[in-house]
Structure 1
Amino acid sequence: MRPSIFILLSFLIVIACAERPSNLEKNDPNLVHFPEVSEPIQLVDNDKEHLYASYYGINSFSANQRYATVLETDIVDRLPTEEDEATLGLVDLETMEFKPLTTTKAWNFQQGCMAHWLASSPDSLIIYNDLREGAFVSIIMNVHTQEEIKTIPHPISAVSPDGKKAVSINFSRLRITRSDYGYGGEGQDKREDIQFPEDDGLFLIDLESGKSELIVSIADVKEIVPEIPEEGIEYFNHTLFSRGGSKIFWLARAIPNRNTTSLVVNIDGSQLEKCFPDGWGGSHFDWLNDEELMVTGSFENTQYSHILYTTGEENYKRLGNGLLDFDGHGTFSPDGQWMVTDTYARENKFREQKIYLMDMKTNAVRTLGQFVTPESFKGHWRCDIHCRWSPNGDMIGFNSVHSGSRQAYLLKLKF
C-alpha cells in the first residue's frame, strides 16, 4: 500500500506554497520578477518506479523539449546489482507517453545511467552507460530508430558541451567507496589494494575515436589532499565540464573518513588547482561559465554554504544572503540568471525536501515547492530532488517520492 497520508500532506504543502509568497524573499519582491510555477507534473503513471536517467544538473531534455530521458524499474529499497536491468526510455512531453528504448545494467538511484543528449544531434542522439560482456561501456543511440550508433569502451560521467569529449572515472572503485554512486558487477578493475593508483583517475575520452587519455591520476593528487589512514583509499567522483568545455571540475575523496577536496583542471591536464582552502571540503557543484562555479562547502564558520568560486583566484562569494546555508544540489539556468537548489529530507523533522529558486542578480530566494519523503526512502536508495533545467530554461525536472513511489516530475515556469 502506498502511504496516502504522504500524498495528502505533500499536496497541501505544494498548494500552500503556490498561494502565498515565500518568507525566504530576502529582497523586495517588487525588484525581482519571479516566474509563475505550475503544480508538479508526474511524467509517468503506472505501477513502476521512475527517475530521470542522469545526475542532477545534467540536461535530460531533447533540444526541442519534446522528450525527456527516464529510467523505469521495479526496485524500491535496495542497491541495484549487475543482475538488475532498468529500462531506459523517453517520455513524450506532449502525450506523456513512456516509450521504452533499451535496458541497462549500469545504473543507480543517484545518477541513473548518466544519459546525456549529444550536441551533434540534440533531438535524436543520446549516450548512456551499460554493462556489456563484463565491461562498463557507453552507448551512443538514435532514440527514434533505436539504432546503437557506437559503443565507447569506457563508462562516461560527464560530456562536453559540444558532445565531442567525455570524462570517465572508475565506477567499480566507486562501488566499494561510495556504493550508491557505483555500479554492480566487475566492469572495471577496482584497484582496491592501491591507495593512490598511478594508472587510474580522470580520463578524457574522444567520443569520435573512443580513445582515452589519463589527464589526472589519483596519484597526482596525493600531495594536495588530506592524509588518509593506512587502510583507506582515495577515489574520484562527480565530474563536470565547464560551460565552454575548457575545464573540468571533480571531487577527490577518500574512505573511511570521506574527506573531500574540490578540484579543477584544464582538459589537457594542465593547471590542476584546489578550489577551496583546507577544511572547506566540497559537495555539490555547477559551472556558471568557464571561470566561475558554485560549490557547496564549509564557508568560513558555516557547515555548508552555496559558494561562488572564481578559478585561478582566491575569490569566494557566499550565495543567498545566508538563506542557502545548507548542502543543496544547486544548478544554474541556461542563461545564468537563476539558480535552483534543494534540501535533504533529513534536515527537518517533517522529512520535507524543498526546492528553492534564487535570482543571481539580487540573491533573492523563493520556495518552489516542499515534498514529504516517506521514512522508507533513505540511505543508498534515498530519493534526492536533483533538479535539472530544460534547454529553454522554462522547465525544471526533479525526482520525488512524496506520492509513496519514486517518480520523475516537471515544473513549468512562466516568466
Structure 2
Amino acid sequence: MNKHFVLNSKVRIASQTNGKHHFFGYYGTCPWNKNETKLLVLETDIIDRLPQKNDTARVCVINQETEQEEVIGETKSWNWQQGCMLQWLPPYDEQVVWNAREGEKQGAVMFNVRTKETKKISCSIYSVHPNGIEALSLDFAYLNKVREGYGYAGVAEEDEKEKGIYRINIETGERRLIISLESLKAYKTNSQMNGEVHWVDHLEYNQSGKRFCFFHRCKTKDGRFYERLYSASSDGSELRLLLDTGMVTHVAWKGDNDILTWGREESALVRISAKGGWLKYVLPIYHKLGISKFSKGILRNRIIGDKFLLIDEMSGKWEKIGEGILENGHPSFSPDKKWIITDTYPKKHWRKLILFNPNSRKNIEVGKFYALPKKGDNISGSWDLSGMRCDLHPRWNRSGTAICIDSVHEGARQVYVLDIENIIKNNG
C-alpha cells in the first residue's frame, strides 16, 4: 500500500502533470474536450498562500495521446477553489474560455486550440450556457471582498450601483443585470437574513440551459451564514425559492428538473433556532468552531439534519439521498445520471473519493488520498482546512468512465485521472 494514497483494486490512476503545481479547479465542469484527447489544467508557482494580484497562473492543454503539455495562455484572475472558470465552450471541441483581467478590469479570454486565435471578452464569466453564446456572471471583486478565496485579487469592482447576477453575450460582451441583490433581500423576507453583507454564487445552468440555480448568502449579525437555494429562468424571471432552512452548499443538476444539494431539512431544531430558542445560541458556536463546514456529514445529520437532498425544481419537494452513508462533498452525476461521484472533507488529513448509486444505495470507495502537501515554511497541520486547501473536486469525463481530481498526496498540487470503468461495468 502506498502510504500517501489507497486505491480500490478495480481502479487505475494516472498522473497528468508533474513538476510545478497544477490543478483544474471546481467540480462539475468537464476538463476534457469532446473526444477526450485534450485536458485543461492550470499551472502555478505557489501552493502555500492565497493568490495575490500579481500572481499568474498559466493555462495549459495536455495532449492525452502524447502526454505533452502546451501553455496556451495565462491569467491573474484565479483562486484555489474554482480556478479561473476554465472550460471548453460548446460544442466542446476547439474553443476554450477562462477569466483574465486587463489591469484591474474584469474580463475573459476565448482561445481556439486549433487556429490559435484569441479573443478578449469585456466581462468575466461564471457559468456558460449550453448554446455557447450566453453565460451568467457576477462581480468577482465584490465576491472576493465578501468571501475571500472565491473571487479574484487585484480586480476592481464593477461600476454598477446594484450587485447581483448578470446575463452576458460571450460574442458581443453585452451584459445585463437580471437578478439584483436588493430584489433577493426583499423576496419572501426572512428575519434570519438580517445581516448587511449579502452575495450570490454557485450559478449553474440546467442541462437545456432554460433555467439555472444559485445561492443567495448572507452573513448575519451574530457572525453566522444564512443561505438560500433559488432557481430562475435563463433571463432571470420565474424566480423560485427552493430551500430556505439556512444551510445549503454544493449543487449538481440531474438533467433539467432535479437539483442535488447538501442542505438542511426544516427540522424541529432549526425551527427553534428561527424562533429564538436555545439553539439560536448553540448554532453560532457550532459555525464559528468550523464544525459546520468540515465536520462529518453523519454528525451534522444527527445534530441538525444536514444531508444530500434531491429537489424537484418545479414543485420544491425533495427526497433524501444517501442518508446515513454520504457526507458533505462535491457531487456530480455521471453522464447517464446513474451514479454520483463525490468527495469528503479531510479527517485526520485523509480525503475519500466516493462513487454512489442512488437507486441501489451502493457506496463504493474509489480511493483515499493524503490531504497535506510536502512540508514547507507555510504548510501547517491545518493547511487542508485553509483557503489554500486542495479539495479533490471530482469531475467526470464525457464517456462516464473516468474521473479527474486535484490532489496533493504526492507532495505537490497535481492533476490525476482515475479509470473507474471496471467498477461501473461490474456494478451496473
Q: TM-score w.r.t. structure 2 length? A: 0.83
The unaligned stretches of length 5 or more in structure 2 are 268-300, 373-380
Q: Give 1:355-374 correspondences, 5 Å limit.
A: 355-374=353-372
Q: Hey, what does 2:263 align to over in structure 1?
A: 297
- Give the 3-state SS of the residue equivalent to 2:403 in structure 1: strand
Which of 259, 263, 276 is the aligned partner of 2:226? 259
Q: Which has the higher contact order (CA 8 A, sep 6+)?
A: 1
Q: Aligned partners of 2:58, 2:225: CA distance in 1, in Å?
A: 32
Deviation at 1:359, TM superposition (A): 1.5
Contact 1:320–1:364 under 8 Å retained in 2: no
Q: Aligned partners of 2:361, 2:28: CA distance in 1, in Å?
A: 20
Q: Which amino acid aligns with 1:44?
A: T
Q: Aligned partners of 2:316, 2:32: CA distance in 1, in Å?
A: 35
Q: Aligned partners of 1:144, 1:187: CA distance in 2, in Å?
A: 33
Which of 3, 19, 22 is the aligned partner of 1:50? 22
- Give the 3-state SS of the residue equivalent to 2:144 in structure 1: helix
Q: Hey, what does 1:210 align to over in structure 2?
A: 173
Contact 1:299–1:318 under 8 Å retained in 2: no
- Give the 3-state SS of the residue equivalent to 2:149 in structure 1: helix
Contact 2:30–2:395 under 8 Å retained in 1: yes
Contact 1:396–1:412 under 8 Å retained in 2: yes
**Deviations 1:278-304 (CA, angstroms, capped at 9, x unpaired):** 33x210001001110101112355242
The unaligned stretches of length 5 or more in structure 1 are 1-6, 20-35, 192-196
Which of 253, 269, 276 is the aligned partner of 1:287? 253
Q: Hey, what does 1:23 align to over in structure 2?
A: none
Q: Hey, what does 1:332 align to over in structure 2?
A: 333
Q: Aligned partners of 1:357, 1:307: CA distance in 2, in Å?
A: 17
Q: Which amino acid aligns with 1:130?
A: A
Q: Aligned partners of 1:231, 1:358: CA distance in 2, in Å?
A: 37
Q: Give 1:50-89 correspondences, 5 Å limit.
A: 50-52=22-24, 54-89=25-60
Q: Hey, what does 2:407 align to over in structure 1?
A: 400
Are residues 171 and 190 of structure 1, via their aligned partners in 2, closer, same or farther at CA, if it must alter by over 3 Å? farther
The yes-or-no answer on 1:235 pairing with 2:202 is: no
Deviation at 1:228, TM superposition (A): 6.6
Deviation at 1:252, TM superposition (A): 1.0
- Give the 3-state SS of the residue equivalent to 2:4 in structure 1: helix
Are residues 227 and 184 of structure 1, via their aligned partners in 2, closer, same or farther at CA, if it must alter by over 3 Å? farther
Are residues 189 and 313 of structure 1, via their aligned partners in 2, closer, same or farther at CA, if it must alter by over 3 Å? same
Q: Aligned partners of 2:307, 2:133: CA distance in 1, in Å?
A: 33
- Give the 3-state SS of the residue equivalent to 2:179 in structure 1: strand
Deviation at 1:206, TM superposition (A): 1.5
Q: Hey, what does 1:247 align to over in structure 2?
A: 211
Q: Hey, what does 2:319 align to over in structure 1?
A: 317
Are residues 391 and 355 of structure 1, via their aligned partners in 2, closer, same or farther at CA, if it must alter by over 3 Å? same
Q: Aligned partners of 2:70, 2:28: CA distance in 1, in Å?
A: 23
Q: Hey, what does 1:27 align to over in structure 2?
A: none
Q: Give 1:371-390 correspondences, 5 Å limit.
A: 371-374=369-372, 375=381, 376-390=383-397
Q: Hey, what does 1:133 align to over in structure 2?
A: 103
Q: Which amino acid aligns with 2:225?
A: R
The yes-or-no answer on 1:37 pairing with 2:11 is: yes
Contact 1:248–1:264 under 8 Å retained in 2: yes
Q: Aligned partners of 1:74, 1:377: CA distance in 2, in Å?
A: 19
The yes-or-no answer on 1:160 pairing with 2:129 is: yes
Q: Percent identity?
A: 29
Q: Aligned partners of 2:330, 2:231: CA distance in 1, in Å?
A: 18
Which of 68, 82, 87 is the aligned partner of 1:97? 68
Contact 2:227–2:245 under 8 Å retained in 1: no
Q: Hey, what does 1:108 align to over in structure 2?
A: 79
Contact 1:119–1:162 under 8 Å retained in 2: yes
Are residues 180 and 219 of structure 1, via their aligned partners in 2, closer, same or farther at CA, if it must alter by over 3 Å? same
- Give the 3-state SS of the residue equivalent to 2:48 in structure 1: coil
Contact 2:404–2:418 under 8 Å retained in 1: yes
- Give the 3-state SS of the residue equivalent to 2:387 in structure 1: helix
- Give the 3-state SS of the residue equivalent to 1:278 in structure 2: strand
- Give the 3-state SS of the residue equivalent to 2:101 in structure 1: strand
Q: Which amino acid aligns with 2:101?
A: L
Deviation at 1:164, TM superposition (A): 1.8
The yes-or-no answer on 1:220 pairing with 2:208 is: no
**Deviations 1:184-214 (CA, angstroms, capped at 9, x unpaired):** 11332398xxxxx6x2201111222221121
- Give the 3-state SS of the residue equivalent to 1:284 in structure 2: strand
Contact 2:330–2:343 under 8 Å retained in 1: yes
**Deviations 1:366-413 (CA, angstroms, capped at 9, x unpaired):** 110101112334311011110111111111101111112111111112
The yes-or-no answer on 1:341 pairing with 2:342 is: yes
Q: Hey, what does 1:25 align to over in structure 2?
A: none
- Give the 3-state SS of the residue equivalent to 2:412 in structure 1: coil
Contact 1:106–1:183 under 8 Å retained in 2: yes
How many corresponding residue pairs?
373
Q: Which amino acid aligns with 2:396?
A: W
Q: TM-score w.r.t. structure 1 length? A: 0.85
Are residues 366 and 231 of structure 1, via their aligned partners in 2, closer, same or farther at CA, if it must alter by over 3 Å? closer
Contact 2:106–2:123 under 8 Å retained in 1: yes
